[in-house]
Amino acid sequence: MSVPSPSTIATPARTLDVNRVRQDFPILRQLRQGHPLVYLDNAATTQKPQVVLDAISRYYTRDNANVHRGVHRLSEQATVAYEGAREKVRQHLNAADVGEVIFVRGTTEGVNLVAQTFGRMRVGPGDEVLVSGMEHHSNIVPWQLLCQEKGALLRVVPFTDAGELRMDEFERLLTPRTKVVAVVHVSNAIGTINPVGDIVRLAHERGVPVLLDGAQAMSHLSIDVRALDCDFYAFSGHKLFGPTGIGVLYGKRQWLESMPPYQGGGDMISSVTFEKTTYNELPYKFEAGTPHIAGAVGLGAAMDYVAAVGHDAIQTHEADLLAYATEVIGSIPGVRLIGTARRKAAVVSFVVDGVHPHDLGTVLNEEGVAIRTGHHCCQPLMARYGLPATARASFALYNTRTEIDALRHALENAKRMFGA
């Protein structure tokens, strides 16, 4: 596994040279509709640095084999690469041991795994599962399915017009009937950073375990699962400059050991007879079948890359982008910002009077500006604001103020085009 290129290393003061960082992302060099690509859809997926692409290619050209099962050299090399990536994840999250790091396809599978194993063990008729009103569908539907199966109730913590959770309501809704709390760390739709430390503390005071959806948080924040004391934390590699189809579920060992397997198959067993199956140790009990080995290797390379740039440098740069975009986009006549929480990640959602978000996104694309439009898999959140959709610009370490200026210029052109 190669280390990140020198251009990714931040200075000793932990400032970020964004022009040098951009050189590490080949896709950013292209033109779209004759314009430089302005990629502002990072909340949906992030672009990949060359070191991640190289790591994946190197695995397939040098180490490709199945893991854990072969005594030949290629299998041994593949196993080392795969388990090395798991150790990188453990370090990145500060998990207690690698047995607490489960490779899954992404956040969605991680949440479903917990709901269908841990949830089925804990939740019964009349019990409650507590989520927030700003959840992604991936952290709503699995719990709805569980509640429907068990005769339980899904309760929802409301949020303010600014997009901040009503913590007074969270405490009120946290009752002896609450068996699981499942809350998003950072909202993908409006960028709110939720007070997850307080959420975990208050839930644990009442003996309630907490799952955090970390899909959006991983690329913006430094995550320490032991400091958070959460019971489960799920995230997706493709939102952390890694490959699609790979993600991680962190779980406290005490819970993972008590949970039944999520799927049956190869590698999740110790022994099998037609009368009985004995399951493998952690983390393999939850990794049935051939895993996405190259994806794990790519995710490990992405984590190396982020560590080389530095969390502090990334957060400082993105805070500047967020402040600038909020001022620039919010000052355009007829533009209304949606979600103005005091603590936000680098996400700006907005609507333009007289222009449907989908039409807006189509017009911006003609100027090379890629944003996301729609309900962002957060239809209950959109209903809270009385909107069918918003336009969303989301930023990453490689974005610049110049790109925000390009977004503003494209928005102004779109408003003129639609007479708005």
pLDDT digits (tens, 9 = 90+) for 132-154: 999 999 999 999 999 999 999 99
One domain, residues 232 and 334: no
Q: What is the mean pLDDT of the chain?
A: 94
The predicted model gives 80-90 an average pLDDT of: 97
pLDDT over threshold 70, residue 1:
no
Rounded to whole angstroms, the Cα distance separating 278 from 268 reads 9
The predicted model gives 167-180 an average pLDDT of: 98
Distance in Å from the first CA to the final CA of the chain: 52
Lowest-confidence region among 14-23, 50-59, 304-313: 14-23
| Domain contains 284 | yes
pLDDT over threshold 50, residue 341:
yes
| Domain contains 245 | yes
Structure tokens at 182: 């499942």
Q: How many CA atoms lie within 13 A of 83 on its CB side?
A: 15
The predicted model gives 34-61 an average pLDDT of: 97
Rounded to whole angstroms, the Cα distance separating 214 from 382 reads 20
Nearest-CA neighbor of 240 among 25, 396, 376, 93? 396
Amino acid at 205: E
Count up the domains in the chain and report the number.
2
One domain, residues 342 and 281: no
pLDDT over threshold 90, residue 418:
no
Rounded to whole angstroms, the Cα distance separating 219 from 186 reads 10
Which residues share a beta bridge with 101?
Answer: 250
Cα three-residue angle 101-266-91, rounded to 5 degrees: 15
One domain, residues 112 and 59: yes
The predicted model gives 112-117 an average pLDDT of: 98
Residues 6+ apart with CB under 8 A from 257: 282
One domain, residues 211 and 104: yes
Nearest-CA neighbor of 193 among 322, 100, 14, 45? 322
One domain, residues 41 and 79: no
**Residue 420's pLDDT is what?**
66
Residues 6+ apart with CB under 8 A from 117: 259, 260, 261, 262
Residues with a known catalytic role: 377
**Residue 287's pLDDT is what?**
96
Which residues share a beta bridge with 134?
Answer: none
Is the distance from CB of 212 to CB of 183 less than 8 angstroms?
yes
One domain, residues 129 and 180: yes
Give the end of a domain, one of 307, 330, 357: 307
One domain, residues 346 and 241: no
Q: Position of tokens 């599962």?
A: 129
**Residue 32's pLDDT is what?**
86
The predicted model gives 86-104 an average pLDDT of: 98
pLDDT over threshold 70, residue 8:
no
Structure tokens at 110: 């991680």
Give the count of beta carbons closer than 10 Å to the beta carbon of residue 246: 26
Cα three-residue angle 377-382-383, rounded to 5 degrees: 120
Give the CATH number for residue 24.
3.90.1150.10
| Domain contains 129 | yes
pLDDT digits (tens, 9 = 90+) for 211-266: 999 999 999 999 999 999 999 999 999 999 999 999 999 999 999 999 999 999 99
One domain, residues 278 and 318: no
| CA quadruple 335, 339, 342, 348: dihedral, nearest 10 | -60
**Residue 157's pLDDT is what?**
98
One domain, residues 33 and 58: no
Percent of the chain whose predicted confidence (pLDDT) is above 70: 96
Buried b (16+ CB within 10 A) or exposed e, 53-78: bebbebbeeebebbbbeeeeeebebb
| Domain contains 1 | no
| Domain contains 300 | yes
Give the end of a domain, one of 307, 328, 347: 307
Strands 277-279 and 153-157: unpaired
**Residue 9's pLDDT is what?**
40
One domain, residues 212 and 145: yes
One domain, residues 195 and 294: yes
**Residue 162's pLDDT is what?**
97
**Residue 101's pLDDT is what?**
98
Give the CATH number for residue 196.
3.40.640.10
One domain, residues 229 and 351: no
| Domain contains 315 | yes
pLDDT over threshold 50, residue 4:
no
Cα three-residue angle 220-15-302, rounded to 5 degrees: 45
Domain with 150 in it: 54-307
Give the end of a domain, one of 289, 307, 325: 307
Rounded to whole angstroms, the Cα distance separating 24 from 126 reads 53
